[in-house]
Structure 1
Amino acid sequence: MTIDDVNAMDRSAFIEAFGDLYEHSPWIVAESAERGPFKDRDHLQSAMTHVVETAGEDRQLSLLRAHPELAGKAAMDKTLTDASTAEQASAGLDRMTPAEYEEFHALNAAYRERFDFPFIICVRLTDKPGILRAMRERLQNDRETEFRTALDEVSKIVGIRLEEIMS
């Protein structure tokens, strides 16, 4: 898909094409549809990022909470989105020892307790040990820092998903 294809889409086709970029949050794509025409893929992503950045804390928190826990219940129940399933598998989170699963579970619980949203990281840019290290380190952050970090990670995830759609 080229940027010309994107710019030729009507609103419903745009939402259909990109509505799954953000986990269970198609409102971001819907609000971005009006911001074209887009110069290139980076401009398209910037428009979507701007929607998130200006959405206000309640909607941003809703976006963060829409993400599944890594190696969590949704992964075990096979109820992740197709994109999340592939992303978690790319980092080996679908092939864990009982000890690794237990550590992920404990860190996920501690993180959610501390920040009130799931741990979010672009798993395609790291591996299992890197994810565990980041979870331990980021548990030391204050909420404001971690909120911003989580939103930045969402942007990285969306960038990779968008690149896949448009390549």
Structure 2
Amino acid sequence: MTARQDFIAAFGGVFEHSPFITERAYDAGLIFVPLTAKGVHAAMVSEFRKAGHDERLGVLRAHPDLAGKLAIAGDLTEDSRQEQAGAGLDRLSADEHLRFTALNADYTTKFGFPFIIAVKGLNRDDILSAFETRISNSAEQEFSTACAQVERIALLRLQVLLPEG
């Protein structure tokens, strides 16, 4: 494998199902050794922000619903599974699950992408509160907020994969 292929294999999933971000960061010459979470994140965020609206929308749409059907079926990426489990979303009561399902449906209908939040350090009550607040946002406001959350998720994932330096 080439260095490029190794890099993409290692970090292509940092932006959920969107390896093009990783490819562009590498191809733009933004990746420097030694690799650090902060450095790789800055390079990838730069490329994410340069992407067109439709491409960024595609990244948002690649994210799973919180506590949604993919989680129930066991079809989340390992990163998403661990993140949602860490916030207790794999242990919802029947009533909580119904609330998440209704909010997911309403949110996706309104905005055209799933509700995205970096769940690390949050519990299900925190997440539900944010969900209920953000569903009132304008489309522009929520697109911006969701993109910022995607960037935060990417940083958290990179911090697991790489040392700070």
TM-score band by shorter chain is: over 0.9
Determine the structure 2 residue equivalent to 1:51: 47
Alpha-carbon offset, residue 123 of structure 1: 0.7
- Report the alpha carbon displacement of residue 36 of structure 1 after superposing the two structures with TM: 2.3
Which amino acid counterpart does residue 31 of structure 2 have in structure 1? G
CA distance in 1, matches of 2:88, 2:40: 30
CA contact 2:115–2:131 (8 Å) conserved in 1: yes
Q: How far has the Cα of 1:20 moved from its partner?
A: 1.2
What displacement does 1:22 show?
Answer: 1.1
Q: Identify which of 20, 29, 35 aligns with 1:27.
A: 20
Match of 1:140 in 2: 136
**Correspondence 1:66 to 2:59:** no
Deviations 1:103-157 (A, max 9, x none): 0000001100110000000011311000000000001100001001001001111
Please report how far the alpha carbon of residue 43 of structure 1 lies from its aligned counterpart in structure 2 after TM superposition.
Answer: 2.2
The answer for the alignment partner of 1:100 in structure 2 is 96
Structure 2 distance, partners of 1:49, 1:38, is 18
- The aligned amino acid for 2:39 is H
Answer with 20-29 or 60-69: which moved more: 20-29
Q: What 5-or-longer segments of structure 2 have no aligned partner?
A: none
Are 1:152 and 2:153 counterparts? no
Match of 1:18 in 2: 11
Number of paired residues?
Answer: 159
TM-score for both structures, normalised by structure 2: 0.93
Measured on the aligned residues, the alpha-carbon RMSD in Å equals 1.2
Amino-acid identity (%): 42
